Amino acid sequence: MDTEILQRARASFLGLALGDALGATTEFMTPTEIKAQYRVHNKIRGGGWLGVKPGQVTDDTEMSLAIAQAIDTADGWTLQGIAENFLAWMRGKPIDMGSTVRKGIVNFRRTGSLEMPTNEWDAGNGALMRMTPVAIFTLGDEQLFKRCTLEQAHLTHNHPLSDVACLCVGAMVQAALQGADRFTLHAMARELVAGYPNFQFTNYQGLASGYVVDTVQTVFHYFFTTASFEECLTGIVNQGGDADTTGAIAGMLAGAFYGFKSLPLHWLRKLDRKINNQIESLVPRLLDLSPSNQGKERNHTMEAGKIDLDEAAIRLESTPLNVLMHIKRKLLRGEEIDGRWFVEVTSLENFLTERGNSPKENVCQSSCSHKCPSCG
């Protein structure tokens, strides 16, 4: 498994979740309303019409995780498993669900059908928002990518504009994962416009609705006119409209392009820890199962659900040295591989759960009995 691709894949999936959580605050607001209330909305603060908690995600991330979990469970692509996960998710009464998504899942529940009929009203962005796990899992096989993309899309959205948007943005994410430059990605976007002029984005009109054309125009405009992950997502969520989904889609693309180190730490620390941990566990698995990894030695550190000390320190709001001391004191499980230390994700999850899920209260307080360096 290529380490650079892995880091970009992590950034793509986490970028999706960050954009979702950031945009949930300004969903359905206008730019004027956002400016009046926040001046510039650039913090994961919760609220919005859904009343989300800071760091809470919505359907964009939850359905993407449902796809990734189905692939993980089946050791490969399973449209039936994805549909069943969608149904279980719906029965769990999620905080938000689009009408077209609901219609598709209900259709599966009633008929067992894995494909909605073509419908001229199904040109929403609900299939596009779920493309991150598909792009990662199918990396290295174009035909598999196209098949899986359309199959997952047609569970709920069967419309030519939705199809081409999913194929284009998904292919751009894959290209970014493999290190494509901005010019290459712009050429891919122009190719979409050449075939479907509706998607023209160079004279952006400021429409950020759930219509897939508006969504793609918004994402492309902010992606190609900004210079960092944070600038891209801040701009897009301040456009309002369907901000959680435009933010999520921009996050998946910008994350793949800019990489993990571009993700703002103050956003990562706010992201729901359970969601963060699920993503960190599933991304290596998706890559491990992908055609790009066939015939290559598997990365045994990430395959086993391990993260390095720096990433563990971010989650614990501590330092790498303190994390290492916790490994030495057997408070966390970890191992040294090729001169680098890694922490098991499940061990980190258990550590936080047992101590009340508050990083600042869990790591190296003055009452620590293990004499960690920062405790004195």
Task: Please state, in angstroms and rounded to a whole number, the distance separating the CA atoms of residues 130 and 174.
Answer: 14
Query: Which residue did the predictor score with more confidence, 300 or 172?
Result: 172
Mean pLDDT score across all residues of the chain: 91
Task: Give the phi and the psi of residue 317 in degrees, each rounded to 5.
Answer: 55, 45
pTM recorded for the entire structure: 0.82
Task: Please state, in angstroms and rounded to a whole number, the distance separating the CA atoms of residues 130 and 82.
Answer: 11
Nearest residue to 268 via CA among 35, 63, 13, 94: 13
Task: Give the phi and the psi of residue 176 in degrees, each rounded to 5.
Answer: -65, -40
Nearest residue to 99 via CA among 62, 59, 46, 52: 59
Q: In what order do the strands lie in the sheet with 334-337?
A: 306-308, 340-344, 334-337
Task: Please state, in angstroms and rounded to a whole number, the distance separating the CA atoms of residues 242 and 36.
Answer: 18
Report yes or no: 166 and 149 within 8 Å, Cβ to Cβ: yes
Which amino acid is located at 327 in the chain? I
Lowest mean pLDDT: which of 17-31, 227-241, 293-307? 293-307
Digit-coded pLDDT (tens) for 299-354: 444 444 778 787 788 778 788 888 888 998 889 988 887 677 888 888 888 888 77
Six-digit token pair at 208? 């950020």
Task: Please state, in angstroms and rounded to a whole number, the distance separating the CA atoms of residues 26 and 37.
Answer: 10
Give all domains of the chain, ordered by start, each with its CATH number: 3-273 (1.10.4080.10), 304-376 (1.10.1660)
DSSP 291: G
Digit-coded pLDDT (tens) for 77-117: 999 999 999 999 999 999 999 999 999 999 999 999 999 99
